[in-house]
Amino acid sequence: MIWKKIFIIAIALALVVGCGSKKDKDMPQGEVFAEERFFPLPEFSQLFGALDYLQTANYDAALPDTYLNEVSDVYIASYYLGNLTADAVVAVKARNKTKLTAIANAMISCSKMVGISEEVLMLADELLILIQNDQWDDLQIALETYKKRVEISLYDTQQFDFMTLMQAGGWTAGINTMSYLLIQNYREDTSAILKQTGTINNVSTNLSKMTNNELYETTWFTQIVTAFEKMGEIVKTENETFTQDEIKILYEITNIIATF
């Protein structure tokens, strides 16, 4: 059993390392293992696709009015970058050119701060061009590609703390937005998209394995840790769907740590 586990992990690692120089279609799918951490690689566009009965105005209302272009702490920048990757998907669905431009600029700023390679940053510049040309379908694909390339860049440079925070930020914003939209437009069957038990538990575990121990002494990081523990308690229910009250709790939990 132990050898089987080692074999699976070895394959996952080899797949990611081998993908560093390949085209986007060869990016790793599903998950990545690194230093005993498990990194789920969600496709936010697929999750939000379950809410296709909503109108663009519904998505627009779920987005913040403004975005930060400067963040002083590199760890917070990593977390915020995750927030932005999820919000960018929502902005595409909202067809909000102004907000998506602000998100893209903030993504570029945070990416530079965490040390993303110039090659990947060039993809961010392409996002701005697609936005200006109203190429919404292409934007959806380009955003997923950018997110994957950023994660691989962090993996290749062994910035696992940054990668952990980016994924925590992405799932925080993703669950926060999905909860908000479901509160406004509740459908019991659709609430199943919040059943992300494995992902939330894995992110929570990753947050407990940070190499920078000073993070555990900061208020903002401990708030994130506590929030994921609380989310884990809610989503571990045997039911596949959630009540409106449960969704409101998820929204309140994630709203506290949505941005810093």
Per the structure, the complete domain to which residue 215 belongs is given by: 53-256
- Residue range 132-177, pLDDT digits in tens: 999 998 998 899 889 888 988 888 888 999 999 999 999 999 999 9
- Residue 127 sits at the vertex; the CA angle it makes with 77 and 119, to the nearest 5 degrees, is 70
Residue 172 belongs to a domain: yes
Domain count of the fold of the chain: 1
Three-state secondary structure call for residue 1 = coil
The reported pLDDT for the residue numbered 118 is 84
What is the predicted pLDDT for the residue at 27? 39
Helix axes 244-256 and 219-235, enclosed angle (nearest 10): 160
21/18 Cα distance (integer angstroms):
7
Please list the helix, strand and coil fractions of the chain in percent, rounded to the nearest 5, in that order: 70, 5, 25
SS3 112: helix
Cα separation of 24 and 145, whole Å?
6
Q: What is the largest CA-CA distance in the chain?
A: 53
Inside any domain, residue 143:
yes
Structure-block tokens of residue 235: 């989503």
Q: Is residue 203 part of a domain?
A: yes
Taking only the tens place, the pLDDT of each residue in 67-90 is 988 888 999 999 999 999 999 999
Whose tokens are 């910035």? That residue is: 159
CB 96 within 8 Å of CB 132: no
Which residue type does 240 have?
Answer: E
Tell whether 202 is covered by a domain: yes
Per DSSP, the three-state class of 39 is strand
Q: What is the pLDDT of residue 207?
A: 95
What parts of the chain have a pLDDT lower than 50?
1-33
Please report whether residue 46 resides in a domain.
Answer: no
Phi, psi of 96 (to 5 degrees): -100, 100
Our CA dihedral for 18, 23, 28, 33, rounded to 10 degrees, sits at 40
Domain membership of residue 12 (yes or no) is no
In 3D, which of 218, 175, 224, 176 has the Cα closest to residue 204?
224
- Nearest 5 degrees, angle CA 181-CA 251-CA 82? 85
Q: Residue 198: inside a domain, yes or no?
A: yes
Residue 19 lies in a domain: no
Q: What is the DSSP string of 138-153?
A: HHHHHHHHHHHHHHHH
Which residues neighbour 51 within 8 Å (Cβ) at sequence distance 6 or greater? 178, 181, 182, 185, 190, 193
**Angle (nearest 5°) at CA 64 between 76 and 196:** 70
Looking at residue 41, the DSSP 8-state letter turns out to be: E
Dist. CA 210–CA 225, nearest whole Å: 11
Closest residue by Cα to residue 102 from 110, 120, 52, 148:
110
What is the C-alpha to C-alpha distance for residues 221 and 32, in angstroms, rounded to an integer? 23
